[in-house]
Amino acid sequence: MTSTAPAATVDRKAVGPGTSLLVTDQGMTTIATTVVRRIAGMAAREVSGVHELGGGAARALGALRERVPGASASAGQGVSVEVGEKQAAIDLRVVVDYGVPIPAVARAIRANAIAAVEDMTGLEVVEVNIAVEDVHLPEDNGERAAVSRVR
């Protein structure tokens, strides 16, 4: 049976400085690095102007993976994170659509990733580094782009 109750939101100011939502008197909650990677990756993909995540080799492998029946691109592709007890740092490699203002897209990615990770995990995101790896041109098709970047 699924719950129809709304998701709880975290009031980080009510917790207090230097306090972690993950370490309480009743026990400690640990969150796997993979979970933080997926959350950050999904949040980055939600931003308008982001074509895809990952460097050339990761995108080529992702394109091959998508051709396998039942497989899909990894939500954590193009994302690396460092996760501690209370904090996380995120590195994202992105491909943006041609014509979008890159600084504005980077700000939106950063804001969305921070909000998603902090809201879902209770971790404080101390930095989000963004590397724009490529620009997707309107005439690029997935197959030609994937092949040319592997060479």
**Looking at the domain assignment, is residue 37 inside a domain?**
yes
pLDDT at position 2: 42
Q: Say if 82 falls within a structural domain.
A: yes
Q: Where does the chain show beta strands of DSSP type E?
A: 23-24, 27-28, 50-53, 79-83, 87-97, 124-136
Contact between 90 and 128 (Cβ < 8 Å)? yes
* Residue 10, in any domain of the structure: no
Task: Report the candidate in 7, 1, 89 with the shortest Cα–Cα distance to residue 40.
Answer: 89
Per-residue pLDDT of the chain (151 residues; tens, 9 = 90+): 444 434 444 444 444 444 457 778 888 888 999 999 999 999 999 999 999 999 765 444 445 445 556 555 556 789 999 998 899 999 999 999 999 999 999 999 999 999 999 999 999 999 999 999 999 998 875 544 444 454 4
| Pairing of the two strands 124-136 and 87-97 | parallel
Total tally of structural domains belonging to the chain: 1
Range of the domain at 112: 30-150
d(CA 73, CA 64): 9
- The CA distance from 39 to 61, in Å, is 21
Q: Tell me whether residue 85 is in a domain.
A: yes
Residue 95 falls inside a structural domain: yes
Buried b (16+ CB within 10 A) or exposed e, 44-78: bbebebbbbbbbbebbbbbbeeeeeeeeebbbbbb
Q: Is the pTM of this model over 0.75?
A: no
Residue 93: inside a domain: yes
Which domain CATH number covers 146?
Answer: 3.30.70.1350
